[in-house]
Amino acid sequence: MIIVMKPGVTDQDVEHLVERLRELGLQSQISTGEERTVVGVIGDDRILQNQPLTVFPGVESVTPVLAPWKLVSREFQKHDSVIDVNGVKVGGTKIAIMAGPCAVEKKELTVGIAKEVSSAGASILRGGAYKPRTSPYSFQGLGQEGLDYLVEARKQTGLPVVSEILDARDLGHFLEKADIIQIGARNMQNFELLKEVGDYDKPVLLKRGLSATIKELLLSAEYLMSRGNRNVMLCERGIRTFETQYRNTLDLTAVPTLKEMTHLPVIVDPSHATGKWNLVAPMAKAAIACGADGLLIEVHSNPECALCDGEESLKPSRFRDLMASLKLIAQAVGRDL
Ligand code: PEP
Ligand code: MN
């Protein structure tokens, strides 16, 4: 951390600051220039994150050198993390496609969609059993019964399943039945939930909050990892901007940015990012082209009657066509699909 002192700062002010840093267990290096005095803090300055150093007399600015996260950072781990999801690897050369309905509906429908996405080449089945709906009058999901249908679909197709948790009280069911626990955009900063899920090593798909910054996303991932869970995947799913033409704005710049900052796999969700099925394929292609490690895509055999997000769901035939074109893009960027 670099602390720049105001012009004309007194020796007492500098000593007062240095004394406080010493109390916090940090060494200081003082450089006195012609116009400015600068205090360099030596040691792990993350403990200063919550210290109000700018209120000390004579302090002009405080610039951290280390990022406020550790375990998620590229400095901590140079190589890409590869998460093993029941035998399916996420984060290696092979791109992981997670596909399925927004919400788990009837058993036969869920199993049918699972078979369709599996035969088209998806490696993981998605499906929400607990749905975080904006309106209390919208379909809220089948709950535990929905998780059981996913288990049945896994039994019949061999696809591991990802499903969203809303409440830590259901964690036991998710640990037993899901292969990846999804923490959705609305819960990205539910810190108590992050801590609870972080206590297990079950793979987690952490989605970026509706208006969360990259830093906030990484700090939420750090919550999970600091509790011991190292199987964390990040998901860019669009952020809220002034644009209302589509559901969200897909921030694809986040993909190469995250890949530079963290070793964790980065998944892109073009379905929730756009909210329109016709925009899903172009954005899915762009996501692979810019380095995403996987995609989360909503597929429904009858979008017109879907209980949730039919407008952004691909029919199986369209999903199949998309998979064929994604293969070519993956090849062009040195990945497999
Ligand atoms: C979902 O994937 O089902 C979902 C609700 O997504 P998000 O949390 O990104 O809105
Ligand atoms: Mn959805």
For ligand 1, say whether the CB of 294 is within 6 Å of any of its atoms.
Answer: no
Distance CA 19, CA 36 (A): 19
- Among protein residues, the one with the nearest Cα to ligand 1's atom 4 is 184
Q: Which pLDDT score, from 0 to 100, does residue 48 have?
A: 84
Which residues are bridge partners to 85 per DSSP?
Answer: 88
Name the token pair of 138.
């919208």
Q: Which pLDDT score, from 0 to 100, does residue 65 have?
A: 83
Q: What pTM value is reported for the model?
A: 0.93
Residue found under tokens 């997670």: 98
| Closest ligand by atom to 206 CA | 1
Closest Cα partner for 104 from 307, 333, 332?
307
What is the 8-class DSSP label of residue 181? E
Q: What is the pLDDT of residues 64-88, one digit of tens each?
A: 888 889 999 999 999 999 999 999 9
For ligand 1, say whether the CB of 179 is within 6 Å of any of its atoms.
Answer: no
Q: What's the gap in Å between 85 CA and the centre of ligand 2?
A: 22
Which of 235, 272, 299 has most ligand 1 atoms within 8 Å of its beta carbon, as the pocket-test mutant? 272
The CA radius of gyration of the chain, in Å to the nearest whole number, is 23
Q: Which pLDDT score, from 0 to 100, does residue 283 have?
A: 98
For ligand 1, say whether the CB of 128 is within 6 Å of any of its atoms.
Answer: yes
- Could you tell me the mean pLDDT of each successive run of 10 residues in the chain, 337 residues long? 94 96 93 92 82 95 89 96 98 97 98 98 98 97 98 98 98 98 98 98 98 98 97 98 98 98 98 98 98 98 98 98 98 97
Q: What's the gap in Å between 184 CA and the centre of ligand 1?
A: 5
For ligand 1, say whether the CB of 177 is within 6 Å of any of its atoms.
Answer: no
Residue found under tokens 């509906």: 105
Name the token pair of 310.
């039919």
Q: What's the gap in Å between 128 CA and the centre of ligand 2?
A: 8
Q: Do residues 44 and 76 touch, judged by C-beta distance below 8 A?
A: no
Residue found under tokens 């952490």: 206
2-63 CATH choice from 3.30.70.1140, 3.40.50.10470, 3.30.160.20, 2.60.120.380 = 3.30.70.1140
Q: Where are the alpha helices (DSSP H) in the chain?
A: 11-23, 107-120, 144-157, 171-177, 191-198, 214-226, 254-261, 270-274, 277-289, 316-332
Q: What's the gap in Å between 24 CA and the centre of ligand 1?
A: 42
For ligand 1, say whether the CB of 68 is within 6 Å of any of its atoms.
Answer: no
Q: Which pLDDT score, from 0 to 100, does residue 143 have?
A: 98
Which of 269, 274, 280, 283 has most ligand 1 atoms within 8 Å of its beta carbon, as the pocket-test mutant? 269
Which of 126, 164, 246, 311 has most ligand 1 atoms within 8 Å of its beta carbon, as the pocket-test mutant? 164
For ligand 1, say whether the CB of 164 is within 6 Å of any of its atoms.
Answer: yes
Closest Cα partner for 176 from 198, 194, 151?
151
The CATH number that domain 83-332 falls under is: 3.20.20.70
Domain ranges, ordered by start, for the chain: 2-63, 83-332
Q: Which pLDDT score, from 0 to 100, does residue 30 have?
A: 94
Q: Which pLDDT score, from 0 to 100, does residue 34 have?
A: 87
Residue 207 Cα: closest atom of ligand 1? 9
For ligand 1, say whether the CB of 184 is within 6 Å of any of its atoms.
Answer: yes
Q: Which pLDDT score, from 0 to 100, does residue 47 have?
A: 81
CA 238, 190, 313: angle at the middle one, nearest 5?
A: 35
